[in-house]
Amino acid sequence: MESTREQVVSMDEITALAKRRGFIFQSSEIYGGIGGFYDYGPLGAILKRNVKNAWWRDTVELRDDVVGFDSSIIMHPLTWKASGHVDAFHDRMVDCKVCKHRFRADHLKSLDQCPDCESKNSLTEPRNFNLMMKTHVGPMEDTASEAYLRPETAQGIFVNFKNIYQTARKKPPFGIAQIGKSFRNEITPGNFTFRVREFEQAELEYFVPDDGNDMEVFKDWVERRKLWYSSYGIKPEKLRFYELTAEERPHYAKAGIDVEYLFPWGWGELESIAHRGTYDLDAHMQLSGKDLQYFDEAAKKKYTPLLIESSAGMDRTTLTFLIDAYENETSVDPNGKETQRVVLHFHAHISPIQVAVFSLARNKPELVQEARALEERLRPTYRTQYDEGNIGQLYRRQDEIGTPFCLTVDYDTLQDRAVTVRDRDSMRQDRIAIDSLPGFLGDKVG
């Protein structure tokens, strides 16, 4: 069978598939939705968890110089004063006086005309809009009880730096990693889950001594992150590592790389990797009056370590896996008949379901029993799903959710103790003995 793959995917196709198969839904859909918030359906929840696990495995579990951490979303409000978020975490916004729509000034081609109602000279002067979401802590709703939902997870790590290095008995160079929710009151959320108001970040803060090796460590993290994306199958030609110029970086940053993916609407940032010097620890030491320096026992001296940060958005990365895996495939069988399918070519570690097990017929108890028993046996090792019915329709469904292997129990199985194994990408079907399945799947799904 010959096949051609349609590489270009539109966001309409992605959002339709996400809804149709239960990956991602609009939040509070029955009430008309709420801008910038999304819910992950049964398959989306597994997909996102797999993406986060893949990051955590590579960044924390496979290293002996990184520890994990999990801080609270609401922190002391002075945290955000010290970090600069209260004074400087804003976008410039403009309002249209005619249609009342609001825009980010840097997203507009011109400030002379409203992009929505096209009125001329209707936009206000740009003004600052702080992106942090506010709430109140405790029973009083006054300014004294005001607090913020964190706009990044990193600050929880900085304020705990001393607690962590002392209890984990770590010495720079070492890193602290955490995955968690962050909130930003984006002026114009959009592009599905790319720019949202509630999202998850995976952040690594890697502390190094000021011994002249800091740029090597920075480059090493960039390489590691490059490898991470490619080892999970993200197409290298759709990924770029954009080096920020001195003008584009914050004044305290010595280097910065934006990891970008070529989305259907253009390049968009997935992750930022930055050399932040001593800026963050210095800022918290200054405002809190507490010592966050590292005490080097051997050298009997204190110093403030330099910081290399890698900060990736898990919702954007999950969306990237979905888009990158998506193919609209047209096949021509040996009789010249054309068929089309949508298939997600997920890496087997990322696929929500790894092995689907089918009974050829739903009204034959002996086949159903055999297939259910096989699925149960594989369940502790793989993410499995049992299904039954029309095999063509079952393949189509599993292709659309990216399941690498489908196993079918048929009448012959009862005699030959073998099943038909169908490969998602090649659509090849092989007869494999049930006893050989652990070895076969172990090699391919792992």
Task: List interacting residues with ligand GAP (CB under 6 A).
Answer: 152, 154, 184, 186, 195-196, 199, 201, 203, 269-272, 311-313, 315-316
Instruction: State the nearest-atom distance from the C-beta of 186 to ligand GAP, in Å.
Output: 5
Instruction: State the nearest-atom distance from the C-beta of 355 to ligand GAP, in Å.
Output: 31
Please give the angle made by the CA atoms of 294, 80 and 187, to the nearest 5 degrees: 135
- How far, in whole angstroms, is CA 11 from its chain's centroid? 17
Give the Cα separation of 317 and 259 in Å (integer): 11
AA letter at 227: L
Please report how many Cα atoms fall inside a 13 Å half-sphere around the Cα of residue 417, on the Cβ side.
Answer: 5
Residue placing its CB nearer to ligand GAP in the complex, 188 or 381: 188
Residue placing its CB nearer to ligand GAP in the complex, 315 or 375: 315
Find tokens 């495939």 and name the residue.
329
Instruction: State the nearest-atom distance from the C-beta of 46 to ligand GAP, in Å.
Output: 20
Closest of 383, 321, 358, 379 to residue 18, by C-alpha: 321
Residue placing its CB nearer to ligand GAP in the complex, 313 or 402: 313
Give the Cα separation of 349 and 346 in Å (integer): 8
Question: 416-426: string of b/e by CB count within 10 Å (b at 16+)?
Answer: eebbbbbebee
For strand 66-68 and strand 174-183, is the pairing parallel, antiparallel, or unpaired? Answer: parallel
Residue placing its CB nearer to ligand GAP in the complex, 130 or 311: 311
Residue placing its CB nearer to ligand GAP in the complex, 93 or 348: 93
Residue placing its CB nearer to ligand GAP in the complex, 154 or 356: 154
By three-state DSSP, how is residue 186 classified?
A: coil
Instruction: State the nearest-atom distance from the C-beta of 314 to ligand GAP, in Å.
Output: 8
Residue placing its CB nearer to ligand GAP in the complex, 71 or 311: 311
By three-state DSSP, how is residue 85 classified?
A: helix
Instruction: State the nearest-atom distance from the C-beta of 102 to ligand GAP, in Å.
Output: 16
- How far, in whole angstroms, is CA 104 from its chain's centroid? 24
Give the Cα separation of 389 and 391 in Å (integer): 6
- Residue closest to ligand GAP, measured at CB: 313
Instruction: State the nearest-atom distance from the C-beta of 205 to ligand GAP, in Å.
Output: 9
Residue placing its CB nearer to ligand GAP in the complex, 311 or 403: 311
Q: The dihedral of CA 200, 77, 166, 225: what is its sign?
A: positive
Instruction: State the nearest-atom distance from the C-beta of 195 to ligand GAP, in Å.
Output: 5
Instruction: State the nearest-atom distance from the C-beta of 269 to ligand GAP, in Å.
Output: 5
* Residue 233: count of CB within 10 angstroms of its CB: 15
